[in-house]
Amino acid sequence: MSWSLLFIEAFIAAFALILPGMLASRAFGVPFKLSLSFGPVISVFFLVFMGIILRFVGVAGGYFALLISLFFFAVVSGMACYFRFHGRSAFFDNDIVSQLPYLCALALSVPVSVYFFVRGIGLPDNFLQVYDNSFHLSVIQSMKHASSYSILSVGSYLEAGSEAFSPNASTGFYPAAWHIIAALVARTFNISVMAAINLTNFVFVAFVLPLGIQSFIAVITKDDVRKGICAAVVTLASTAFPWTLLYWGPVYPNFAAFCAVPAVAAVFIWFMQSFEEARSVCTVHCSVLAALLFGMVALVALQPNAVFTLGILLVPSIVVCVGGLIERQLLRKQSISAKFAHYASRCLVLFAVAIIWFLMTKASFLQGVINFHWPSFTYIFDAVWRSFSFSFNENTPCILLACLVVLGSLWALGNRSFRGYFFVYLFSAVLFVVDATQDGFIRHFLTGFWYTDQYRVAAMTALFSIPLSTLGLDFILRKVQSAFSVSVGMDRSARYLPQALCIVLIACGLFWPESVNPSINNYSPVGFTKSVLNYMYSIYDVDNNLTSDELAFLGEVKQMAGDELIINNPFDGSVYGYAANDLNLMYRKFSSFGKGETAVSKQIRHGLDRISYDSLIARDVKKAGAKYLLVLDYGENGREGVDMPGYHKSGWTGIDSIDDSTPGFSLVLSKKDMRLYSIE
């Protein structure tokens, strides 16, 4: 598959994700510009909702039913827009000039994303060979096969009949909205799961995030076009977000959720600002409130911690809106001064936010997340430097971006409208410092919502820095404008030329692809990110469990075994065969198993080599329906890559002990240290 074809399909997928939700948002009363960015969020909600409904009513062809329902959703939303705006108000309620930042955002984000995907990931079918990705791949492949898209029934064994051999038969809730989109993409375009993942991620980074940032900047700056153009330049400039989340973990669902946060925040802020107008609460407000509720559900379905990220980002607007209401109530008492009422009302709101934070840290359903532990890795002064220089968990600072944030911070501190966003960024930077340096209660209390994961907290900090770097670049442009405004004889259009040139220079500084000297390429943020993506996604990575030879061997296994069930040890790299080669594997993800493991799975893992003389083992294998055994690392010295978490050699003795002479197995395919046995 070629990148050109994948990108064409990505534009189709982006259109299908944006349009239905955009029409619905507009019908709910969201302004046109905001609906462009909020559209994907509403579409995600609809897909999640319909996936649950179709699974509940037992619709067999869930894929076709889901696509048809999405089409009808777009049609009905379009009709609702027609009846709402026909003869009353304009569907396009903004002028062309106000759309310019959105066009600039896409004009920059698409080529930058294309560069990172083509030069970084390499091939459309390349994928990460890491622990979490085995889960992502198997869930998407299982959704694709079973046409089941419910986040309430997520698992790697959704196909009919798979309960006979599933090592852990249970399915349950998982925030799998991102997986649903990837599975639909894979099925619609008939591409591999790996290509579908890369396509889905491209849509989120090239379309969803830039449009969301534009809407967010528009509502906090009162549709300032120049600030919108500045935001278009800096949106993708940080390596911590979005690029690092494409290889760390990978936490693809969190990546997608963070991409959607600005769009939801923009509509929330616009909704709160609307109460400052003369009109009272009406049907428009109620319908927008319903749309916001759907947006919140979509964030939860993508990754629940995005709701907490959204909450932090909304604190300045909540303080202004709710604090203003409290202040007006306090001013009714003549004994209270205006200054006291102002500060007291804001402090009350912040205190309420702190109470909510504390109560959420005590919620029983969040304890597994909050108490998850990642080790700290540095000391305080280094962590402060890392957060300031935007190197975070890596070693490549982005000094130019840091300077823009500093300029923007100074400007924000002197402007009441933007001051709150400086403190939001500062708070998130403190969270990173705590997360990187501390171990104990304070760390889990402050960063537990994000699994105490420094990469997710760093991504959040980078996301919160975008308004400040936008203000910093805008400050530079205003100084350039002032410097050239004294020029006489220069027509009005020519006065924008110095600002345009300045934007081009800043963009080159942020996105210059390679260092002049290749030996210091790692000091170029873009060059470093491209190199890491290239290394992590390469099939030739020395840390890989699955090599290029083994991947080719799995293709031969597919031709011979067809759809028959194959027993495997997932830790030898065969785990990726389910998604990469459509092999019907018994073990489809890395797992340490546990109390939920079936008796059949335990017997096979520990005693498969005894099949010729142990009737219980033979019975269990027959019950599971297994016909083949796949071994990719034959012999003591055949193991490639690094051992994944959860691997214990003693847990796989029944499979690893089998060789060419073991009774009950016939060698049918062999190449180097790779074997396929037929189970007699």
One-character DSSP codes across 262-319: HHHHHHHHHHHHHTTSSS-S-HHHHHHHHHHHHHHHHHHHH-THHHHHHHHHHHHHHH
Is the alpha carbon torsion for 275, 276, 280, 284 positive or negative?
negative
Q: How far apart are CA 456 and CA 189, in angstroms?
A: 31
Q: Which helix (H) or strand (E) holds 481?
A: helix 454-485
Q: Is the pTM of this model over 0.85?
A: yes
First to last CA, the chain: 38
Largest Cα–Cα separation, the chain: 98
Q: How buried is 452 (Cβ within 10 angstroms: 0-12 exposed, 13-18 middle, 19+ buried)?
A: buried
> Which tokens belong to 621?
């294998």
pLDDT of residue 161: 84
Q: How far apart are CA 337 and CA 214, in angstroms?
A: 39
Length of the chain: 680
Q: How far apart are CA 664 and CA 629, in angstroms?
A: 11
- Do residues 419 and 317 make contact, with C-beta atoms less than 8 angstroms apart? no
Residue-by-residue DSSP string for 67-108 = HHHHHHHHHHHHHHHHHHHTTTS-SS-S-HHHHHHHHHHHHH
- Do residues 36 and 215 make contact, with C-beta atoms less than 8 angstroms apart? yes
Averaged pLDDT in 10-residue chunks for the chain of 680 residues: 91 96 93 94 97 88 90 95 78 77 95 91 92 94 93 91 82 93 96 96 97 96 94 95 92 97 96 68 73 96 97 95 87 81 91 96 93 92 94 86 96 92 97 94 95 96 97 94 68 76 92 60 74 87 84 95 94 93 92 77 92 92 93 74 74 90 94 92
> Which tokens belong to 212?
């969301």
Where exactly does CATH 3.40.50 map onto the chain? Answer: 548-679
pLDDT of residue 280: 47
- Collapse the DSSP code of 678 into the 3-class scheme (helix H, G, I; strand E, B; otherwise coil) and give the result: strand
pLDDT of residue 481: 85
Fold type of domain 548-679 = Rossmann fold (3.40.50)
Amino acid (one-letter) located at 169 = A
Other C-beta atoms lying within 10 Å of the C-beta of residue 95: 9
- Do residues 47 and 70 make contact, with C-beta atoms less than 8 angstroms apart? yes
What phi-psi label fits residue 390: left (phi over 0), alpha (psi between -120 and 50 degrees) or beta? left
Q: How far apart are CA 645 and CA 545, in angstroms?
A: 13
- Collapse the DSSP code of 21 into the 3-class scheme (helix H, G, I; strand E, B; otherwise coil) and give the result: helix
